[in-house]
Chain A
Amino acid sequence: MYDPTVARLTYRALLGRRRALILGALPVLLIVISAAVRGFSGADDQVAADVLGGFALATMVPIIGVIAGTGAIGPEIDDGSVVYLLSKPVKRPTIIFTKLIVAIAVTMVFSAAPTFVAGLILNGNGQQIAVAYTVAALVASIAYAALFLLLGTVTRHAVVFGLVYALVWEALFGSLVSGARTLSVQQWALAVAQKVAGGDLVTSDVGLPTAVILLAAVTAGATWYAGQKLRTLKLAGEE
């Protein structure tokens, strides 16, 4: 199910040149902000939870997920070089699975690791906040990568739709319509984080069993469907 050559090529495409710059800039910004906040206001559990929840999990993780998830396959389909990959005797679901693993790994490294570091800077992992949000970022990375990889195979405007989901649906709709929060990767990840933290600083609108089931279903479903899409991929011309 895992093809090292495809993985190597995907890593090169994802981390090559300018894409790595934007991927690296976000975590650096998070850590700079955390350091500034710590210097500003000292260690405070509520502030730490606000920064990690409001900036790291709500803004940074989805954007890195979009860049890594769609970047793993989107540009290849866009410039048509995916036909060289598809003409090789490698199963299409294998290609998708390998690219998913790479996308998850990149998202995790660039989002969960800086979240943990930022948490340590902010309040030295008081009340397990750093660990809780790191777990949330790890869980969210898997679901986001799978979801946005699927988007990359479905539409040429994957980045736009991914961002619409991440910013409009999760942030704007989620704050207005409470029902939208049940269908949000962020809340599912927060449910897992709530279990880890145990306190009342990390809360979610979704119960843990529902969240875990939905996470697993979305990840598996998106991966399977992306494999199916790749089997019948049509290369469209530039509009």
Chain B
Amino acid sequence: MRKTWYIAVREYNAAVRSKAFIVSMVLMPVFMVGGIVVQKLLKGKVDTTDKTIAVIDHTDQLCEAIEAAANAYNENELLDPKTGKKIKPKYIIERVAPSEEEPDKQRVDLSDRIRANKLHAFVEIGKDVIEPNSNPRANADILPMTERVVYHGERAAIDDMRGWVRRILNERIRELRLAKVDMAADVVERLTRFVPVEPHGLLSLEGGKVKAEGRRSEGQLMVIPIIIMMLMLMMIMIGAPPLINSVLEEKMQRIAEVLLGSVTPFQIMFGKLLGTVGVSLTMVVIYVGGGLLLADRIDATQYVPYHLLPWFVIYLVMAILMFGAMFSAVGAACSDLKEAQSMTMPVMVTVMIPMFVWVNVVKDPLSGFSTWLSLVPTCTPLLMLVRQATPSTIPAWQPWVGLGGVVLFTIFCVWVAGRIFRVGLLMQGKPAKLTDLVRWAIRG
């Protein structure tokens, strides 16, 4: 056991001092948090150049509303009330009389102006938009052109201004239609008011008082499971795959033979796995510790699922042992990096499976699919934890049965990998085939 420990210590030191580890330690959170930060930074950096849109109004009744809305907007929303800085583009409406003779030429001309950057977009309002005759349930595509409003622009589909125009036009059109039947807009609004169905959590009795979890947003429900899963996946990915390189180094530099003169192959492999577990626990201390500190600073401690912390650590240790054993077997079976890369794929995919299904599991953690998949040992660490992180009550036996399965499967993996490791370690030259691996595992 002491020798295993020495190997573990060496492995740990070699891993945490490697550049790859330090870089990924620093970069991983940068990538994860970076996206949010960049979004935040870019939020204020919208394009504030003035936007002119041309309106061809065949109804002759709607353009005014757009102009009025644009004026109101230009007056009230253009400047930041605190700093007085211009934070939004000014909207300029240009009314264009419809051309009776050459409507297509008019459209082409306007398009050319957009291409020349003289114009932002142009809107053409059909003449029967206010009082359409066709079936109100008909698909917009089959309506006659006279009943449609078309927004032409280079990025029309994702243009914010199109949404603005739509809102203004519809408000005005509704007003006009209601006026025709002599109804006031506020009356209609009261009559057709929509009642929301709020998503709330469960209630519980604490010290004689009813405690409600209150309103829960979709984001809140998804955020915690995904943070937990990504954190664990990241630790597995930083910890386990480097074992391939480390075993390969020992094999290619013929260090393995020196080691085998002192320790058994199983001791080597187990020592390396323990070292890797140490690396992951170091990451837990840094990331989870950092996360908890951050949660404390931003007053988000009520969202931290403290009860999951022990499960997180146990599952992580098991996952590292399980996948680490697989990766070291791959390393031992190959004789160069190229070979190893192709043999790594299946193991990588096995690690990643939970990534592909986690949304379904979070949405319905009690479904048969979620339950069974989370009991498959290679998926248990990530998926069971994700299920436990949702507010649903997972039957109490399931995490334990899952853990039992993981422990058994991990022992099996380490045992099989140990046998492949022993045969593969001194094997040079010809690459091992899958059948060889199976034979080594069975015969030892």
Chains A and B form a bound pair: no
Interface residues of chain B, those whose CB is within 8 Å of chain A, are none
Interface residues of chain A, those whose CB is within 8 Å of chain B, are none
